[in-house]
A and B are shown apart, each in its own frame.
Chain A
């Protein structure tokens, strides 16, 4: 809802009330397909219109974390209608310590699979534990195994399920997967649509992560609230498939229901031949359908934004939510001169981050470096990081520098290419796959009070540990910062 949708009314005593303008309701009633990719896929999944823009929708896949919900449902005798939709990869609560397969204590934290795992598998559930070659972070392995395909509607528990939208599908996270398992359906309010057109020339050393941080910095952490967001424009189109995942991963960090990129040849080539991709028998038919699933030339979005990447520097956050991103040569803002609406949160951010208003962010010492998470822990990310650190050493003031591959398959591939040797020689720890320090109910977190430069997606208060300060940046900016022991400009390493 935009400002012009409101009529402001005084209700006395200084209270101002803004009620939606009647045109807003008229438009709401007409919220229907207007030719966007989102509309087309949404409409194909409608089972029932529940009124008021709420719909019952068919779910094609549910790629989730812990199987504990399944256990609970079965203990309660709840009938599960669609076990085949559910792919279970316990990632959040698994230690990424290389000793996790042998150390009994770590096995306990790690092993989300109890004695009943085989029973669950026999019942038709797909459970991939840490010993499974397909195991990894759910949002990495869903696409990596070919489970996430264009045109699908995919929902799961974890909020970063929006990552899969980069395949040209609708996906979101929310904690109502029990109902998906019971019915194969989900109820959702039809969101408005927004298109973010990314134009211009991407500067040297910039990655997809820098693009999405720039988008959130410009539009705001709340900007997608109420919207499904399509990322488009020549810069997005030119990105490899893996970069598109990084962009959609942070769609939820602008509070949108989902983020999407239209599928194209880049997508199809990336998907073809993967384990769960459509078989050759159906491939041409599938691709022919997928090619229709893009926004029409005359598609109408509720909101359109353009982000020009020309001249944009590598981005890094200074504060406590993702919109607190500034160019690497930028300075920490001063709350007292910030726009009035931002002031209170900026003050909290300055107090928490311990940074000085007006100080350059470049050169800020870091205690830890984290490379991993569902944002950028795919093979292309690890290759790029390895290029930066090859033949160099992690600075002595860095207490912990970790590389955590996104999946067992990624780890195997990286080791086959010798990337692990490069990281280890530089003084990084080379970990097992999992969510790790991005969110730590798994024993991995940043030590109390420390500053970590992280390629993950959240820098909120306490996100990575007690009183820990997170600076979000791209994988390569993190790698360069590990070498310098302070927030570094990756462009000096290219």
Chain B
């Protein structure tokens, strides 16, 4: 008989040092939020495949969730001047974000109030000193109020109250412009939960888009984002020893997080994985220093008494500090190195790290239940006093294209190919399976379950406000 005490579901963890153990033993202390831990057991029932494949479920999401939830549409620097616009499409909905005055950014449904025509055809950034419908020439000022109606005499029944552009809730946080089609949405700050407090330590408004890649993925938007919500897949998908001891946090209905140490390897965390890989023999500190090679940097060996993690962090502090003109000397190893990923319901990811500085967004590809659009932004820290440069246009990749085709994506190209390479197979597997749903780990995959639970609240309660 085992002498182990019986554990409650969700209490078990990988063996070896925890993320907190590592962060505490690092030379530079991390910001306090990174030492917090907030896990809760949310159940262990299977998640039905229908939720990923059913047209009816997809339509319910479109009716009850997407029009009632906050989503970031663009960055403030996409609309720096009065008249700058950004069109954000989500399923059948289209939203115009516009800088209507120096300090004002507003959002409207992209639809003429005369006969409904979409006003701005393109998606992404644009410019309009006013909005003019291409059908009959009705026009509106940037604040959405009616400007001109040709043959005004024929429309005595039209006025501002009824025919100004249809407003959408619009607020800003961290340099992002958020929209919510629900005009009675609760304030964005209430929705963001711990994010404003945590990101005081790593402000996203002082980041610039270095690279924006927009790829079509062959999977439902939820399956696509769930490929990025755990590091459990690292061993098999990325052939990587890191990830077994990743920390997972649930901060509320809308926000979750993982902290996945980079250059922190423990053979114990892979204790019950098949085979001897990375356990017998375990990787040496010198082996782990090879991470620097992946970043295109030179490396030697780890001196006695040092760790690879400390040396890699130091090397990156110097290299990135010089490249970006920023002093990283007092930045913690964790922020320099680790994959720290916050998720915001329903589809947004924010990484505060310096070397892993991504933002993701996953959304349905039009009305296709089986494909999605993945926006990948690499958000480089901006030196003090430097103005935001004009953001680059997205590099667009179709389903069959490889991330390695993207100029400047460097070591991340093959990694994203691996991450997204399972999705077509998973979609096929959903449809051939006799078993009706997918099974989740209690701890490592709890963030995925959190999203489904919150989604259910939207779908079951027409009054849910986000």
| A and B pair up | no
B residues in contact (CB < 8 Å) with A: none
Query: Using a CB–CB distance below 8 Å, which chain A residues touch chain B?
Result: none
